Amino acid sequence: MDATVTDSYAVVGNPIEHSRSPEIHTAFAAQTGQDICYRKHLVEPGGFVAFARDFFARGGCGLNVTVPFKLDACAFADELTPRARAAGAVNTLMRRADGTVLGDNTDGAGLVADLHRLGWPLRGRRLLLLGAGGAVRGGLLPLLEERPALVHIANRTASKAERLAEEFAGSGNLSAGGLDDVPPGFDLIINASAASLADEVPPLPASAVGNHCGAYDMVYGPRPTAFMRWAAAAGAETADGLGMLVGQAAESFYLWRGVRPDVAPVLEQLRREMQLSA
């Protein structure tokens, strides 16, 4: 009788040492009774295709892909899900039964799931997205599928935001502009810009924060980000992106295993560990 083979998964990126994906997916597997092995791999620039080809040839079942290889993964996949096509980037690869590789992007689904977890409604609400890079592109379609009244994209370079709004115009009510002409009164503000990485706040008017507004920063850490502190001072309820990290991982796990894990205990454990190590 053949010995049971543990299904192999991994996350690849550069850098990768900081990745929490192995502990997240190992916790999901223990919770749902799945037999998997999940590792992280540092891949040098230009080496993604060779690594992925070898990984799947050796029987690997799925890969998570992080910076700077999401575009490489998009090109590598034999087929893309609609949300991966919309994002133009892939963070999850899955080898299917026929040997072909499916590319998906679970970032936006992870964001939407975390907003639901927080109890922040999206349908019929006015949303402000800060930034116009890959994080915004990855989140746009899943957010628009929630049927908000408006999604306004604001970016330092207004033309970049306007191009994104034009590209996704058929999926919902979109507008765009610079950070110097942001309309007032939003129900939810999502910071997908790089400002928080430098502990900075995008130059926003306080009038952007509407009544009972939520302010969500995709960056996470043991302490509130500069954006979260600014939003709280303007009267908003705030949250960071740790729940999005766990949510996108849960979406990948569901794609691979057909079982949806409970994110709450994993999120709580990560939050505890992060605060203890601060």
- Tens-place pLDDT, residues 147-194: 999 999 999 999 999 999 999 999 999 999 999 999 999 999 999 998
Class of the CATH-defined domain 108-239 = alpha beta
114 annotated as ligand-binding: no
Q: What are phi and psi of 275, to 5 degrees?
A: -70, -35
Is residue 253 left, alpha or beta, with left meaning phi > 0 and alpha meaning psi from -120 to 50? alpha
Q: What is the mean pLDDT of residues 86-115?
A: 97
Which alpha helices (DSSP H) does 7-157 contain, by range? 21-32, 48-57, 70-76, 82-87, 107-117, 134-144
pLDDT at position 198: 87
160 annotated as ligand-binding: yes
218 annotated as ligand-binding: yes
Is 70 one of the catalytic residues? yes
Q: What is the pLDDT of residues 123-148, one digit of tens each?
A: 999 999 999 998 999 999 999 999 99
66 annotated as ligand-binding: yes
pLDDT level of residue 267 (50, 70, 90 thresholds)? very high
Is residue 2 scored above 80 in pLDDT? Answer: no
Of 25, 70, 83, 257, which residue is the catalytic one? 70
Could you give the residue range(s) of every CATH 3.40.50.10860 domain in the chain? 7-104+244-277
The strand pair at 101-104 and 92-95 is best described as antiparallel
Determine the distance from the C-alpha atom of residue 189 to the mean position of all C-alpha atoms in its chain, rounded to a whole number. 16
Q: CATH for 7-104+244-277?
A: 3.40.50.10860
Q: What is the pLDDT of residues 45-85, one digit of tens each?
A: 999 999 999 999 999 999 999 999 999 999 999 999 999 99
User: Residue 127: beta bridge partners?
Assistant: 151, 188
19 annotated as ligand-binding: yes
Distance (Å, whole) CA 155 – CA 177: 7
User: Residue 216: beta bridge partners?
Assistant: 190, 239
The strand pair at 92-95 and 62-65 is best described as antiparallel
252 annotated as ligand-binding: no
Could you give the residue range(s) of every CATH 3.40.50.720 domain in the chain? 108-239
Under DSSP, the state recorded for 218 is S
